[in-house]
């Protein structure tokens, strides 16, 4: 076993051990109340897992995306949900790669230590959706500060985050040479902004992601809130989006593993007509197929992570990883629920909760159809579809 493989194995074992202290009843209670997993996030932070991608010079572990993916996969394979973890991992990358030295010195050590949370990512808008270049939130430069007006939606965990990465226009779309020009990224200190131009409203959804919409009305941001160069924000978040797709794909692999293991255990224990239901090929084969799908998808996730770590172009691989892994997890979820029958709908089995949670990844952070359109046009060279 290589040193890297041994490190990943140790990380996986440590995460599994920590997650054992947060079993099904913990997640069920949170889901029922739509509550934030504060104790779990605290434990993961204290164990150093949320700082895995932050360089050692800034208080983190300085490991690669493969380590982050392994952490998130194991959380989901253990029956938990890493939604409160993954945003900080990939959002932090924009600050790490494009922030000034002053910004990195100020924020990264605090994030690594858990004294600051960076879990909110303000990009999507009601009128733009995944057409990011069509956002209308505008940041106007006025002397030593910017004044921001606009609205964001599906900004998860804004109520539980200290900092938010915000994408806004700093030049009108009509004045841009390219659609992606004129967008800028800001690091918003929500502790100072709340009630002073920033309003957060929760959106209750079918799963516990602490989702919100955000209203920005004459919000004043210091000029030093700008990350990188003005007008180049779209390029800054693209790399983060590849990381996001890979990390979400890893979570889907974890979900698929959980469903396969849950279904296999039930198929061995459940006796109908005098024998375990797993003795029937009609039960065995769907489990085996779900297992094969998840193992194949995992290879693409691993390939995408390696390319990202090597600094190579990985857009096609990141998108295919998310596509294949989300489809594998959804197929496994459907299989697991079907095999459990009526018991699958009972809260105490956790199947219905995980079923709802993994369904999200057919839609977010990017829908399956948009990935297929991207692959068709940009990878296969097919005519652009409308």
What is the DSSP-derived secondary structure letter of residue 232?
B
For residue 56, what are the β-bridge partners? none
| pLDDT range class, residue 386, cuts 50, 70, 90 | low
Dump strand ranges (E) for 118-203. 118-122, 138-142, 145-153, 163-169, 183-189, 198-202
Residue 79 neighbours by CB under 8 Å, 6+ apart:
19, 23, 24, 27, 258, 350, 354
Residue 65 is encoded by which pair of tokens? 């995306």
Question: Backbone phi, then psi, for 190, in 5-degree steps?
Answer: -70, -20
In 3-state terms the chain splits into helix, strand, coil percentages (rounded to 5) of: 60, 15, 25
Q: Of 368, 342, 354, whose CA–CA distance to 256 is shortest?
A: 354
Q: What angle do CA 336, 89, 52 make, to 5 degrees?
A: 100
Which residue in this structure is represented by tokens 């516990």? 208
Question: Backbone phi, then psi, for 188, in 5-degree steps?
Answer: -95, 125
Q: What angle do CA 325, 330, 332 make, to 5 degrees?
A: 95
Residues taking part in catalysis: 244
Q: Cβ(252)–Cβ(124) under 8 Å?
A: no
For residue 119, what are the β-bridge partners? none
pLDDT, one tens digit per residue, over 267-304 is 999 999 999 999 999 999 999 999 999 999 999 999 99
Distance of CA 222 to the CA centre of its chain: 28
Q: Which residues of 213-228 are buried (b: 16+ CB within 10 A; e: fewer)?
A: bbebeebebeeebbbb
| pLDDT range class, residue 129, cuts 50, 70, 90 | confident
pLDDT at position 174 is: 84
Separation CA 151–CA 137 (nearest Å): 6
pLDDT at position 133 is: 87
- Residue of 173 and 197 predicted with greater confidence: 197
pLDDT, one tens digit per residue, over 351-379 is 999 999 999 999 999 999 999 999 999 99
pLDDT, one tens digit per residue, over 213-225 is 999 999 999 999 9
Q: How much of the chain exceeds pLDDT 90, in percent?
A: 87
Could you give the count of Cα atoms lying within 13 Å of 243 in the half-sphere of its Cβ? 24
Separation CA 294–CA 334 (nearest Å): 14
| pLDDT range class, residue 6, cuts 50, 70, 90 | very high
| pLDDT range class, residue 47, cuts 50, 70, 90 | very high
pLDDT at position 4 is: 87
Taking 70 as the threshold, does the pLDDT of residue 150 lie above it?
A: yes
pLDDT at position 173 is: 85
Q: Cβ(231)–Cβ(170) under 8 Å?
A: yes
Separation CA 364–CA 361 (nearest Å): 5
Question: Backbone phi, then psi, for 275, in 5-degree steps?
Answer: -150, 155
pLDDT, one tens digit per residue, over 65-106 is 999 999 999 999 999 999 999 888 888 889 989 999 999 999
Q: What angle do CA 107, 113, 114 make, to 5 degrees?
A: 90
pLDDT at position 384 is: 85
Separation CA 97–CA 88 (nearest Å): 14
pLDDT at position 144 is: 96
pLDDT at position 176 is: 75
pLDDT at position 128 is: 85
| pLDDT range class, residue 140, cuts 50, 70, 90 | very high
pLDDT, one tens digit per residue, over 324-352 is 999 999 999 999 999 999 999 999 999 99
Q: Cβ(131)–Cβ(161) under 8 Å?
A: no
For residue 215, what are the β-bridge partners? 151, 199
Separation CA 231–CA 167 (nearest Å): 10
| Structural domains in the chain plus CATH codes | 3-117 (1.10.540.10), 120-232 (2.40.110.10), 235-379 (1.20.140.10)
Q: What is the mean pLDDT of residues 250-279?
A: 97
Q: How much of the chain exceeds pLDDT 70, in percent?
A: 100
Query: What are the distances in angstroms from CA 273 to CA 13, 269, 277, 281?
Result: 39, 13, 9, 15
pLDDT at position 20 is: 98
Average pLDDT of the chain?
A: 94
Q: Cβ(267)–Cβ(335) under 8 Å?
A: no
pLDDT at position 138 is: 97
| pLDDT range class, residue 177, cuts 50, 70, 90 | confident
Separation CA 12–CA 4 (nearest Å): 12
């Amino acid at each position: 076993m290589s040193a890297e493989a041994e490190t990943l194995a140790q990380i996986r074992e440590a995460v599994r051990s920590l997650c054992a202290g947060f079993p099904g009843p913990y997640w069920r209670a949170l889901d029922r109340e739509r509550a934030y997993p504060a104790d779990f996030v605290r434990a993961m932070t204290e164990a150093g897992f949320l700082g895995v991608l932050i360089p050692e010079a800034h208080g983190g572990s300085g490991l690669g995306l493969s380590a982050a993916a392994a952490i998130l996969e194991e959380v989901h394979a253990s029956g938990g949900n890493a939604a409160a973890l993954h945003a900080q991992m990939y959002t932090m990358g924009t600050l790490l790669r494009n922030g000034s030295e002053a910004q990195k010195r100020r924020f990264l050590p605090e994030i690594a230590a858990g004294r600051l949370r960076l879990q909110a990512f303000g990009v999507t808008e009601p009128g733009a959706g995944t057409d990011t270049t069509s956002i209308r939130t505008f940041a106007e430069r006025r002397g030593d500060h910017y004044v921001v007006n606009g609205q964001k939606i599906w900004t998860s965990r804004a109520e539980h985050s200290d900092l938010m990465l915000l994408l806004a226009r700093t030049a009108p779309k009509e004045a841009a040479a390219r659609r992606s020009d004129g967008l800028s990224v800001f690091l918003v200190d929500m502790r100072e902004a709340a009630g002073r131009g920033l309003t957060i409203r929760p959106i209750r959804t079918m799963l516990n992601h602490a989702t919100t919409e955000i209203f920005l009305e004459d919000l004043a941001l210091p000029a030093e809130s700008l990350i990188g160069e003005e007008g180049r924000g779209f390029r800054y978040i693209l790399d983060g989006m590849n990381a996001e797709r890979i990390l979400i794909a890893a979570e889907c692999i974890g979900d698929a593993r959980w469903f396969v293991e849950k279904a296999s255990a039930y198929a061995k224990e459940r006796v109908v007509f005098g024998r375990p239901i797993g003795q029937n090929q009609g039960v065995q084969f769907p489990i085996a197929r779900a297992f094969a799908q998840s193992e194949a998808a995992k290879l693409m996730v691993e390939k995408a992570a390696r390319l990202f770590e090597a600094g190579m172009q990985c857009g096609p691989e990141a998108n295919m990883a998310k596509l294949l892994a989300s489809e594998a997890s959804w197929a496994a979820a459907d299989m697991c629920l079907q095999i459990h029958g009526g018991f699958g709908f009972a809260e105490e089995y956790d199947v219905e909760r995980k079923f709802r949670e993994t369904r999200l990844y057919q839609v977010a952070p990017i829908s399956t159809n948009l990935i297929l359109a991207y692959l068709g046009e940009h990878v296969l060279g097919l005519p652009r579809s409308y």
